Amino acid sequence: MIPLLMILRAARQTCLSAEVKLRSEHNLRERKKFERKCARQTDLLKDKVIEIASLKAQLSLKEGEAAEAIRLREKSTLKGQVATLESTATSKDIELVSKDSMTDQDLEGDKVLHLALEERGNVSRLDPHLNQD
């Protein structure tokens, strides 16, 4: 019986060796499959990193363009405000000159009236500042 036990042990060992070999081959196939999948994922991630860098560059460019547009709009608005203020100042200057000339004309008219009233003797109704000749 000893040889039969040896044969059974040898057969069992052969079966175990074959099973280990099959599992090793299976593990090797799965490992290669997994490595290919990892390589694909790595390539996809590299592509995404490149795309993100490109989008960041585009965003930076767009932000610069937006900042420039805002600066130009503010400059344009300020120029419009300056023009409006200059126009208002000019019209106020014209109005002031006009009022000054009207005041001069009023004073001249008041002096003429004063002289006319003086001739009649009604000087007391006029303001004292008109008595300055």
Residue with tokens 């009649």: 120
- Which pLDDT score is estimated for 109? 63
Assess contact for 107 and 126: CB atoms under 8 A.
no
Distance between CA atoms of 114 and 121, rounded to whole angstroms?
10
> Confidence band (pLDDT; 50, 70, 90) for 125?
very low
CA angle 90, 94, 95 (to 5 degrees): 115
Residue 96 vs residue 4, higher pLDDT: 4
Helix, strand and coil in the chain, % to nearest 5? 95, 0, 5
pLDDT in tens, 69-99: 999 999 889 888 888 888 888 888 787 777 7
36-50, 52-66, 82-96, 118-132, range with the lowest pLDDT:
118-132
- Which pLDDT score is estimated for 119? 65
Mean pLDDT of the chain: 83
pTM value > 0.85: no
